[in-house]
Amino acid sequence: MIRPDSAGICYGDETPADRDTFGVLWARMRQAPGEGRPDFPSMHPMRQRQVQAERLCQVCGETASHTREGWLFLMNHDGSDIYEGAKTTKPPVCLRCAALATRHCPHLTDPVGVRSRRPKLWGVFGTIYTPTPTACLRPHHDHHLPYGDRALNWFLASQLVVELKRCTIVDLDTEFKAINP
Ligand SMILES: [Zn+2]
């Protein structure tokens, strides 16, 4: 709903847990742990946020793989092979899950391993709402906004976005051999 001061959106029964430390409102979803299989695009907002912020593996929830070259992220080849500054909603992974995901995850059509020494909290992914003349809210889905943006008052976040800094492309097969020779 629209805030009483008309300066953004809020929940009618909002609690402090509905916003992150930057004051951004987060989507609520029925919590059903253990239901179904891991499905990256529809990861639960609260879980995605925690896993991304704490650099846990997005599949198993253990600490993600970290070496001198940084945290391991699985990306799809984008043709340019430039991942420095790439923004991603996909949290990092551990090596064991990376090996499984590159073989079985349908969303990774052409996987590339990117290690980032500094995955920086960048902003959020979600829905922007605009108020209509009749004081209703019109949703605009699938937007990225950086923290600090004024439009965040009208934003409902569902994914935390990190920017990959100080990146190195790694040879996944070599890394997998180290855990499973
Ligand atoms: Zn894992």
Taking residues 106-125, report their average pLDDT: 93
Question: In this predicted model, what pLDDT tens digit does every residue of 152-174 receive, in sequence order?
Answer: 999 999 999 999 999 999 999 99
Ligand 1 geometric centre to CA of 163 (Å) = 21
Ligand 1 geometric centre to CA of 177 (Å) = 16
* Average pLDDT score over the chain: 90
Ligand 1 geometric centre to CA of 62 (Å) = 6
pLDDT the model gives residue 30: 53
Strands 25-26 and 137-146: unpaired
Ligand 1 geometric centre to CA of 117 (Å) = 19
Q: Where are the alpha helices (DSSP H) in the chain?
A: 45-54, 95-104, 172-179
Ligand 1 geometric centre to CA of 61 (Å) = 6
Question: In this predicted model, what pLDDT tens digit does every residue of 117-145 receive, in sequence order?
Answer: 999 999 999 999 999 999 899 999 999 99
**Which residues make Cβ contacts (< 8 Å) with residue 35, sequence separation at least 6?**
none
pLDDT the model gives residue 86: 95
pTM of model > 0.75: yes
Q: How many Cα neighbours within 13 Å face the side chain of 142?
A: 2
